[in-house]
Structure 1
């Protein structure tokens, strides 16, 4: 049986080699590229992201990455966003008073976390929904986060016309002062994590294997 082919989208965002290696270890054949057609044709597309929302969106638009994502999803083809690669899937981001349009696959605003200490950096547990494929077998594990911004309110309402996305939550901060934010989303072919599976040890490796198994 052939390994599924995954493209890690290269749009100038951060250290991509660790993502490539992690997905290879999960059982996929991986190519790091910004080529439009190659990214469109792959069995799976991984969209990484490190740094500022506006800079990531500018890099993504420079290679028509938002069109790649949109066309893949219109055809039911899997996409996985990681960290800022998850954030840019939402409608918009607000950083330092600057508002930037995102890919608008989901409604919602990426904004600064409201916790006593920011950034949220280190290992944390997540609140996993029932019926998850992403977290199958790793529902009680911890994952590695590095971020100052997140989606603090989930606003998509499907009114039962389509299967609602499975939303995973996490909290950052001491009890009584903790801020709650979206940690992961499973929405048909579109999966995303605020944490870094490639930095999350065995649990992150298992999550990536779960994703590769769907391709």
Structure 2
């Protein structure tokens, strides 16, 4: 039987593109769902996210039972989890976009606006950029070096450097990927990153944290 993968629909993700990318990576049973029961039964979970932190947070928290289902699956039963863009930022303790908004708190840190320290640097950070591994990447065998597509104005400031699996440079260091145990989040968009992104999703489908 094909392994069930829950792609969470909370009104804030590029679902069609992520769904197609997962299928291109070899997934056989991807379910786009807002049903906490299906999330509890999934063998892998993907949380996409596009837009403002607060709006994404409100959308996810507004689904009855969803946060409890995610907590049970990801934290208690250690189901492999991938967060994409704002789906990655929601792993933080809080986001500071248009106010202060509580995150899932699975990877300690805050989400801050990218500061323009160089007038030649544009915000949002948009387009292709390098993904460079950190000294801690060996702890998480999912991320590899390469080039990926980014589109964001806020970035994840992790409290513990050991949770940072990869960085990129946009007028200074920006976290490109975080990872802890069975949880990985990427600031870039695998579904827009061509071969690099598909390869990442292939590894996620085979990942046994």
Please identify runs of 4+ aligned residues in structure 1 that moved more than 6 A: none
In 2, Cα distance between equivalents of 1:102 and 1:15:
20
Kept in 2: contact 1:4–1:212 (CA 8 A)? no
Kept in 2: contact 1:11–1:34 (CA 8 A)? yes
Once the two structures are TM-superposed, the CA of residue 154 in structure 1 deviates from its matched residue by 2.3
Kept in 1: contact 2:107–2:180 (CA 8 A)? no
In structure 2, runs of 5+ residues without a counterpart are none
In 2, Cα distance between equivalents of 1:68 and 1:121:
33
Query: Counterparts in 2 of 1:21-170, with a 5 A limit?
Result: 21-28=20-27, 29-63=29-63, 64-73=65-74, 74-96=76-98, 98-115=99-116, 116-129=121-134, 130-131=137-138, 132-135=140-143, 138-139=144-145, 141-151=146-156, 153-156=157-160, 164-170=162-168
Kept in 2: contact 1:69–1:79 (CA 8 A)? no
Once the two structures are TM-superposed, the CA of residue 180 in structure 1 deviates from its matched residue by 1.6
Count of residue correspondences: 198
Report the CA distance shift for 1:54/1:190 in structure 2 as closer, same or farther (over 3 A).
Answer: same
Indicate the RMSD between aligned Cα atoms, in angstroms.
Answer: 1.6
In 2, Cα distance between equivalents of 1:56 and 1:65:
13
What SS class does the counterpart of residue 127 from structure 1 fall into?
A: strand
Structure richer in helix, relative to its length: 2
Once the two structures are TM-superposed, the CA of residue 14 in structure 1 deviates from its matched residue by 3.4
In structure 1, runs of 5+ residues without a counterpart are 158-163, 173-177
Once the two structures are TM-superposed, the CA of residue 66 in structure 1 deviates from its matched residue by 2.6
